Structure 1
Amino acid sequence: MFQCLLPFKWHGENQKREKGEKMKILSKLKKLTIIQETYKLLFTLVGLLPADRKLVMFESYLGKQYSCNPRAIYEYMRVNKPEYKLYWSIDSRYTETFKELDIPYIKRFSIKWLFCMARAGYWVTNSRMPLWIPKPKHTVYLQTWHGTPLKRLAQDMKEVHMPGTNTEAYKEEFYRESRNWDFLISPNAYSTEIFRRAFQYDKQILETGYPRNDMLLSPEKERLAQEIKRKLKLPMHKKVVLYAPTWRDNQYYEKGRYKFDVQLDLKEMQRELGEDYVILLRMHYLVAENLDLKPFHGFAYDCSNYVDIRDLYLISDLLITDYSSVFFDFANLWRPILFYVYDIEIYRGELRGFYFDLEKNAPGPLVTTTVEIIDYIKTLDLDTHNNQDYQKFHDHFCHFETGESTRKVVGSVFN
């Protein structure tokens, strides 16, 4: 008789469990809000102290890397602007990189960080800052950004599928953040137009090209490439393929940690290409996966945690990507690019949408299977891959990049 009541008992227990979990989440959010408000108050009070106009705080990808445009600007200023005090804002989980390279750093959200950020004359970052950190009036905020947009950005996105937010909140947060920027770097005229609209940004845009790409145009790039290959212990006689995909908004563990299932058949690629090629896998900084490449030892290398992707560009003979903006940068090297777009209909139609027709304008073929990738590489002539379409793409998207971008940015901002 009582068995028929068991489902109701289970249902009641489930409701209690769900209620308990919700209460825990609400409690955490409440504590987080209190911490943030306290930090905001302290930050505001410290900001009333005399500013240090020569103090510059750098940050790359939420403090996770020593890389990208902030790195190029930092390295230029270290040599050419010795009167400035230069520090990196870093996530405390990534201190080893900065220790090994002997880069001066301050841990994000520490007391020292709070004092330096609130008194700094300049902030230089390539991603957004937490909105609960108020920008002092004396601080010049240089937003370098981190790519030419193929995927729709900010106000141009129809729907947002990221965890922890919704479309309206995401766009509002982006709008409030861009109010703080004093300078924004653009890699080309195409990006300038999109940045103005998508970020609703009406202050100064520096049409200089990206500082991070100066290295790709350096007369020393061949020598540097050999050094990097030796550092990574790659076979010097083999060609290098770089696989650098982006993340998927709707595949995640939690806010800021995204899933990625590598769709390449590495076993088949190793069998068909292993004698002449190695492949480097570089996941997006938001992807939380740990790749297990032990079965492909000597052929596939996980370079997701390598300090800066620009080094990987230099040593790569071929780039395979999907919808990542990496191909705009890689095009500066005039090397072949292959687009592995197995989910293009979903990505274009449901997740982000594109600013231009990738099939018509991509500087390389689009493929959807590993077999097609292998066939393309086998028939590839690395010396004669350039064509009229590649030239047209380069003229349109790389026209600001002359190897002088960093000097131009520093000259405009740090007078």
Structure 2
Amino acid sequence: MLVSKVIKRILSGSKMQKIYKIIFKIVGELPKKSSLVVFESFHGKQYSDSPRAIFEYMSENTPNAQLVWSVDRRHTKLFEGLNIPYIKRFTIKWFLTMPRAKYWVNNVRLPNWLPKPKKTEYVQTWHGTPLKRLGVDIKEIHMPGTDTGRYKRNFITESSNWDYLVSPNAYSTEIFTRAFSFNGQVLETGYPRNDFLYNYTQRDVSVVKEQLNIPKDKKVILYAPTWRDNQFYSVGQYKFDIKLDLNRMKEQLGNEYVILLRMHYLISENIDLTEYEGFAYDVSNYLDIRELYVISDILITDYSSVFFDFANLKRPIIFYVYDLDEYRDHLRGFYFDLEQEAPGPLVKNTEQVISHIQAVSKDNDLSVSYQQFYSTFCGIEDGEASKRVVEAFYNDK
């Protein structure tokens, strides 16, 4: 363990990064492999999100394309188990492959030291419709390891490498171009990751429930909160304290419901749910949240972009926003008035959460505000966003 930590420290040092950069530049000058597409999701830690949806579409519809994933060395077993071609990040093979790819498809920022070769086309899908402020729109940064000025400079440097930026709607297009200082081509196509929400089958639902061992007679609540910029252990390792009273929820809802807890990928907590066995399930490491959406009857979230995606299913959403004032006024700030425009009730304690869940069981009609929300944010989603994105960037000639 000590040896591995020393090696990691050496490889992450500034001198090694300079060497990496030089190697990357040299290899990047070699002729491009015109059919090679390299995918990455959440820093190589997942097979998920819009990169996955685009990969799946291309696997079926672009037979001449060479598709490979860039994967964090700690997560290679996932790709091996799924029989998906991959290369380990920052290995010799990676340095000989990544710079020669004609296309990159990613959903988060790449390391700042990594130079994009001139003839590589970078498709940035991003990973959510914005509620909280992004990029240069954030007034003050509270994250560890950076400051406001450096964070914004790094963001602008990264976005200057993007050739295409995928947007799910007109609202996002306006914000993305400003917040990312983006001057490339916006693909306002809907989100590829949401295609599944229009194309899934009841067989898909049954398979996921069986995998998670969820009783067939129980309804499903999905709790998927975001992270807090100022609650952290270290850079990229964030704390999260579940404020829901699971005892009360189990007592009042356990006969009818189970609850799935899906923590944000930046949250490093290990959740012990032993005493809630049969009611609460930790699904933070489940392959892709899209499959959790389709088995869920109700979503509970806060400021996460998951509610924009879940709304495609036209199912009830409850906003558990116990720290709304602090988050809105001090940490991030919002792009629209959540209290006025949210497609569901805003609540601040467990009893209110329980009350609204019980009310959902009696009334499943969508409110006028939810219908308006759907029209604004989900209106161009139709299950074919991946197709539109691929047709825009990939040239197989």
Please report the TM-score for the alignment, with normalisation by the length of structure 1.
0.92
Match of 1:68 in 2: 49
**Does residue 146 of the first structure (1) align with residue 124 of the second (2)?**
no
Give me the identity figure in percent: 59
Moved more, 330-339 or 130-139: 130-139
Offset of 1:316 from its aligned partner? Answer: 0.2
Offset of 1:30 from its aligned partner? Answer: 10
Structure 1: which amino acid aligns with 2:203?
R
**Does residue 99 of the first structure (1) align with residue 84 of the second (2)?**
no
Match of 1:4 in 2: none
**Does residue 357 of the first structure (1) align with residue 337 of the second (2)?**
yes
Matched-pair contact (CA < 8 Å) for 1:56–1:123? yes
Change (3 A) 1:122 1:199: same
Whole-Å separation in 2 of the counterparts to 1:239 and 1:291: 22
Offset of 1:385 from its aligned partner? Answer: 3.1
Match of 2:4 in 1: none
For residues 115-138 of structure 1, the C-alpha deviation after alignment (integer angstroms, 9 at most, x for no partner) is 111100100000000111110011
Matched-pair contact (CA < 8 Å) for 1:60–1:126? yes
Match of 1:44 in 2: 25
Please report the TM-score for the alignment, with normalisation by the length of structure 2.
0.96
Match of 1:333 in 2: 313
Match of 1:34 in 2: 15
Match of 1:210 in 2: 191
Whole-Å separation in 2 of the counterparts to 1:280 and 1:152: 27
Query: Paired residues, what number?
Result: 388
Offset of 1:69 from its aligned partner? Answer: 0.1
Matched-pair contact (CA < 8 Å) for 1:336–1:382? no
Structure 2: which amino acid aligns with 1:340?
Y
Change (3 A) 1:124 1:382: farther
For residues 73-130 of structure 1, the C-alpha deviation after alignment (integer angstroms, 9 at most, x for no partner) is 0001011111011111111111121111111111111111111111001000000001
Offset of 1:183 from its aligned partner? Answer: 0.2
Whole-Å separation in 2 of the counterparts to 1:37 and 1:206: 33
Match of 2:160 in 1: 179
For residues 32-73 of structure 1, the C-alpha deviation after alignment (integer angstroms, 9 at most, x for no partner) is 000100000111111122211111100001111000000000
Change (3 A) 1:355 1:169: same
Matched-pair contact (CA < 8 Å) for 2:317–2:344? yes
Match of 1:18 in 2: none
Offset of 1:222 from its aligned partner? Answer: 2.5
Structure 1: which amino acid aligns with 2:328?
R
Match of 1:373 in 2: 353
Matched-pair contact (CA < 8 Å) for 1:336–1:385? no
Change (3 A) 1:223 1:382: farther
Match of 2:297 in 1: 317
Whole-Å separation in 2 of the counterparts to 1:375 and 1:36: 53
Whole-Å separation in 1 of the counterparts to 2:124 and 2:41: 11
Offset of 1:29 from its aligned partner? Answer: 8.7
Matched-pair contact (CA < 8 Å) for 2:10–2:16? no
For residues 257-287 of structure 1, the C-alpha deviation after alignment (integer angstroms, 9 at most, x for no partner) is 1000111100111111111100000000000
Moved more, 30-39 or 108-117: 30-39
Moved more, 383-392 or 100-109: 383-392
